[in-house]
Structure 1
Amino acid sequence: MRIPLLFTTITTAALLGSCATREPAETNQTPATAATPLRGTYWVLHQLGNSAVTTPADSQELYLTLSADSSNSAQGQAGCNRFRGRFTLAANDQLSFSPLMSTKMACPRLALESRYISALEGTTRYQLAGDTLRLLGAPAGTQVVAQFHAGTAPE
């Protein structure tokens, strides 16, 4: 009689042990980082079309900010000229800019400024991933016209 009792005890212990909760295994995956907000962020231009953009020592950083309030104002620095205008956000990550007004100072990098303003005005969509903003334009909102990284606004 002791063998069936021993068998029942071992079986019960094994079944209960298999139901015990266990600590989740550690993973090497990092949690997905939340995207930086589109509005109210100081976006520093890093790429225009297929060309990398660097800020020369004697120039100001090229950037874009979109107001966090309902005014939908856009502003930024195109090199030595500042610009301002309005933007419209619609469904499906659609983004467009009104014609942008800028100051008209003569600059050595005026061609880059013109390309930057044209890229903004040609924007039809955007993609936001982490701290990177990509503006897309023609054809059909699939071509990256400008790429930005979240930065820190100068004091």
Structure 2
Amino acid sequence: MKNAIVMSALAITMSLSSCGIFQKESKTDAASSEVITGKKWKLIELNGKPVADKINGKEPFLKLDDNDKRYSASGGCNGIGGSFTLSANNRINFSQGMSTMMACQDMSVEQGLGAVFTAADNYTIKDGILSLNKARMAPLAKFKEVKEVASSKEQALNGTWELDYISGPRIAFDGLYPNRKPTITFDTAAKKANGNSSCNNYNTTIKINGGNLNFGAVATTKMACKGTGESVYFKTLETITNYDIKDNTLHLIMGDIVVMRFHKK
């Protein structure tokens, strides 16, 4: 009888210990999941071999944009891009889209990186290194996060600006915006902008690359607005390709033509 009780107690203890082990492993697995989007990753190893800092004078890299689920990359020659999907257990899949078609002296890294995007089905992160893998085989490629520092020009874009000129419409500026001038507030770290169109509040995403600037789709409140000022404002935002700041004046530019001018509030 005593032996039966002892055996039963041991079985319960082992069962509880086993549960504890599995719970710990589960927590560890969950903790290993790390955000990989919204960062720039520098290619440092390809198929087990180290990759030079620059290939054909360019840094090989990978970026994953969580907003539109698109990736951009370079093996040191052409731009590579397409869509990607993330799922449970660190699963990842790439779908290659269009790329540029330049011929470069060293195409081996680019070709190898293209093959990685075709084959990879999962990723891991350890000690700040992102690995793209196929099943449980050795990593196909390894990347190191690049801490990007915003330029002084990009930092100067932050804050709130008020429109005082817009190109195009035949109606005078004060006629377009008789009661309230449009505003825009930039948050370059979050890659977002918001403001008021003179009628509705709005928000949008931004993409900045040096002096280049592009706005994403605009979401607005739904008040009815008089006149055409709001529609002119949003249509002009869609055309912006770059920007320039002088003192407290912001120029938003289409090609090489200033189409919007703001002053810092």
TM normalised by structure 1 equals 0.69
Q: Which runs of 5+ in 2 are unaligned?
A: 1-31, 150-209, 211-265
Partner of residue 19, structure 1: none
Identical pairs, percent = 27
Shift >6 Å, 4+ stretches: none
Q: Is the 8 A contact 1:124 1:141 kept in 2?
A: no
Local SS of the residue matching 2:92: strand
Q: Is the 8 A contact 1:44 1:149 kept in 2?
A: yes
User: 2: distance between equivalents of 1:103 and 1:73?
Assistant: 16
Local SS of the residue matching 1:116: helix
Name the structure with the higher strand share: 2
1:49-68 equivalence runs, <5 A:
49-56=47-54, 58-68=56-66
Q: CA RMSD in A?
A: 2.1
Name the structure with the higher helix share: 2
Q: Which runs of 5+ in 1 are unaligned?
A: 1-33
Query: Structure 2 residue aligned with 1:48, among 32, 46, 49?
Result: 46
Higher relative contact order (CA 8 A, sep 6+): 1
User: 1: distance between equivalents of 2:120 and 2:88?
Assistant: 15
Give the aligned length.
119
Q: Is the 8 A contact 1:66 1:72 kept in 2?
A: yes
Q: Is the 8 A contact 1:35 1:131 kept in 2?
A: no
2:79 pairs with 1:90: no
Partner of residue 73, structure 2: 76
Distance 1:83 1:153, change over 3 A: farther
User: 2: distance between equivalents of 1:83 and 1:57?
Assistant: 15
TM normalised by structure 2 equals 0.42
User: 2: distance between equivalents of 1:123 and 1:75?
Assistant: 16
Local SS of the residue matching 1:135: strand
Q: Deviation of residue 141 (structure 1)?
A: 4.1
